[in-house]
């Protein structure tokens, strides 16, 4: 065998040092308690679309309690309804009163399918009560009127006697529901009416004028926000309505592994689409930073929330299903995207005070999939389970030095993280390793000093496109993690490839 030339040995040596250096990350967790991570960041979205409501939450004439129980376990804080694009075609009076007398309509937004409106206002409010979560209703601006929105609010929130409040009583509900989160339209730049931001700002002012605060029910009004990186939309809204009555401005950003025409399969993909999807998911950080910077100029005291009320990965629909129903499986890759996105939201809790993953059951990046009586929990569900400890905790600022995960000429940070301290003093750290092959040793230090114990859980699997099926529902779920050890005053966390690790330090 020929000996290697000396120059090549040197290159290999350098490469070896670099490669081994790349397998560790440094994390510093500051002690200064940051803003509270609003529990509403862990919110969800349920549209009258495909099998999200019908077959998902609602079966025949009742709410599915298996789905409710699953969502209660992750402490679902808020649920958005009825859309999405559907919100701007929805007329709430179609969905009240005896179910067998409700209007039959056509869901022209999603698949031209018949809708018997058996799931309406009372059913949604009952669902939220069973879930123990806040309702977030998106009102109709596109095909509605201020009168329609005004009367829905009176129906929902007025405690006295009026035609609307008494109609509610006649339909079986005495007390008002005191709904607080209220969306004024949805995607008004597109399916909500193809408006310009200037026109929408005027519409927002007109509609919101008639959104009244009934006693005991102050509204948190949310303006329809931008399409991803449309910064002009946010700038215009801040200029025109930023000083008015607005609690939040929304923003929608979906992760694609391909293009809108060819989004790619939810389960049949290689490293190319894995890397593209992760890169696209991480763009959320830049998009949030840039919207926040615009909002900061008009609202330096951060009175107005950025509400990411639609996010998640959007793939091609599962073969053999109605493409308009947006039913997709959910892989380990999607869980890694969810975990990374929630880390971004935690780290921007000063401005982001609500977010809603699209969509809870059977649509897009769902937490729960159903098949007749059967139900399965997706890898993304388990991320929300691991991360629920951050809800209403104080965020802790972090500094992270991560090695890169490089692929096909591109690179992204392999590791991302966030941390918080809860009211009992426990520190929770959530870490993600996106690298598909390398373990990464994360060396963490707490500015506050030492801690006595560390416990953790890990979510991972052998392949990035592994997923849970109705026949094998437990393939991917969190298990106890034994890879975190005290190292002096710090912590060494040996992260498997493609993993989410959640730690509790006391």
Closest CB to ligand AHR among 359 and 370? 359
Closest CB to ligand AHR among 213 and 227? 227
Q: Region of 228 please: left (phi>0), alpha (psi -120 to 50) or beta.
A: left
- Asked if 262 and 246 touch (Cβ cutoff 8 Å), the reply is no
* 193 near ligand AHR, judged by CB under 6 A: no
Q: For the chain, give the number of residues.
A: 506
Separation CA 220–CA 397 (nearest Å): 28
- Point out which span in 10-18, 79-87, 168-176, 256-264 binds ligand AHR (CB under 6 A): 79-87
- Asked if 38 and 136 touch (Cβ cutoff 8 Å), the reply is no
Who contacts 467 (Cβ-Cβ below 8 Å, separation ≥6)?
266, 267, 329, 330, 331, 332, 378, 379, 475, 476
Shortest Cβ 323–ligand AHR spacing (Å)? 13
Known catalytic membership, residue 187? yes
Who contacts 127 (Cβ-Cβ below 8 Å, separation ≥6)?
57, 63, 68, 79
**Catalytic member of 187, 203, 273, 285:** 187
Closest CB to ligand AHR among 233 and 481? 233
- Point out which span in 56-64, 77-85, 128-136, 203-211 binds ligand AHR (CB under 6 A): 77-85
CB neighbour class for 373 (10 Å; exposed up to 12, middle 13-18, buried from 19): exposed
Closest CB to ligand AHR among 37 and 358? 358
* 186 near ligand AHR, judged by CB under 6 A: yes
Residues 82-111 contacting ligand AHR, CB under 6 A? 83-85
Residues 395-454 contacting ligand AHR, CB under 6 A? none
Site string (342-371) toward ligand AHR, x via CB under 6 A: ----------------xx----x-------
Residue 392 CA, chain-centre distance (Å), reads 16
Closest CB to ligand AHR among 86 and 345? 86
Among 154, 235, 273, 310, binds ligand AHR (CB under 6 A): 310
* 313 near ligand AHR, judged by CB under 6 A: no
* 47 near ligand AHR, judged by CB under 6 A: yes
The distance between the two most distant Cα atoms of the chain, rounded to a whole number of Å, is 95
- Asked if 150 and 139 touch (Cβ cutoff 8 Å), the reply is no
Alpha helices (runs of H) in 163-309, residue ranges in sequence order: 163-170, 197-209, 231-241, 271-298
Number of residue whose CB is nearest ligand AHR: 84
CB neighbour class for 92 (10 Å; exposed up to 12, middle 13-18, buried from 19): buried
- Point out which span in 57-65, 80-88, 394-402, 456-464 binds ligand AHR (CB under 6 A): 80-88
Closest CB to ligand AHR among 28 and 324? 324
Shortest Cβ 192–ligand AHR spacing (Å)? 8
Known catalytic membership, residue 271? no
The site for ligand AHR (CB under 6 A) is made up of 47, 83-85, 186-187, 310, 358-359, 364
Tell me which residues are annotated as active site.
187, 310
């Amino acid at each position: 065998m020929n000996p290697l030339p000396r120059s090549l040995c040197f290159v290999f040596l350098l490469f070896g040092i670099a490669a081994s250096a790349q397998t560790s990350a440094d994390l510093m967790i500051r002690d200064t308690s940051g803003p509270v991570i609003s529990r509403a960041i862990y919110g969800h979205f349920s549209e009258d679309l495909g099998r999200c409501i019908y077959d998902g939450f609602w079966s025949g004439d009742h709410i599915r309690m298996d789905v409710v129980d699953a969502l209660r376990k992750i402490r679902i804080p808020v649920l958005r309804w009825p859309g999405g694009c559907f919100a701007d075609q929805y007329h709430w009076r179609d969905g009240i009163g005896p179910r067998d007398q409700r209007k039959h309509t056509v869901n022209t937004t999603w698949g031209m399918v018949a809708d018997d409106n058996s799931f309406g206002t009372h059913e949604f409010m009952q669902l939220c009560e069973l879930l123990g979560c806040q309702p977030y209703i998106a009102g109709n601006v596109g095909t509605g009127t201020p009168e329609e929105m005004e009367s829905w609010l009176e129906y929902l929130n007025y405690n006295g006697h009026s035609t609307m409040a008494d109609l509610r009583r006649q339909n079986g509900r005495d007390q008002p529901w005191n709904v607080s989160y209220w969306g004024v339209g949805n995607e008004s730049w597109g399916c909500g009416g193809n408006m310009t931001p200037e026109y929408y700002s005027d519409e927002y002012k007109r509609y919101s004028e008639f959104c009244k605060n009934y006693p005991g029910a102050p509204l948190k009004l949310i303006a329809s926000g931008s399409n991803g990186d449309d910064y002009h939309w946010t700038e215009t809204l801040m200029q025109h309505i930023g000083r008015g009555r607005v609690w939040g401005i929304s923003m929608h950003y979906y992760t694609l592994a391909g293009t809108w025409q060819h989004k790619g399969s939810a389960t049949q993909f290689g490293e190319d689409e894995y890397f593209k999807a992760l890169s696209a998911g991480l763009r959320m950080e830049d998009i949030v930073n840039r919207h926040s910077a615009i909002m900061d100029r008009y609202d330096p005291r951060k009175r107005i929330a950025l509400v990411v009320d639609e996010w998640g990965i959007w793939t091609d629909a599962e073969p053999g299903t109605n493409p308009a129903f947006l039913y997709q499986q959910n892989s380990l890759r999607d869980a890694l995207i969810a975990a990374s996105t929630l880390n971004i939201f935690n780290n921007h809790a000063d401005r982001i005070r609500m977010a809603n993953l699209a969509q809870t059951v059977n649509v897009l990046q769902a937490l729960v999939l159903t098949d007749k009586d059967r139900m399965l929990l997706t890898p993304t569900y388990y991320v929300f389970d691991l991360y629920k400890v951050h809800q209403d905790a104080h965020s802790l600022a972090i500094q992270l030095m991560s090695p890169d995960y490089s692929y096909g000429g591109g690179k992204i940070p392999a590791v991302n993280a966030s941390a918080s301290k809860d009211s009992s003093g426990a520190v929770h750290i959530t870490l993600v390793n996106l690298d598909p092959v390398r373990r990464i040793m994360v060396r963490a230090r707490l500015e506050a000093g030492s801690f006595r114990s560390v416990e953790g859980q890990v979510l991972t699997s052998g392949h990035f496109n592994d997923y849970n099926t109705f026949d094998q529902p437990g393939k991917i779920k969190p298990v106890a993690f034994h890879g975190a050890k005290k190292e002096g005053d710090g912590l060494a966390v040996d992260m498997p490839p493609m993993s989410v690790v959640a730690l509790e330090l006391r």
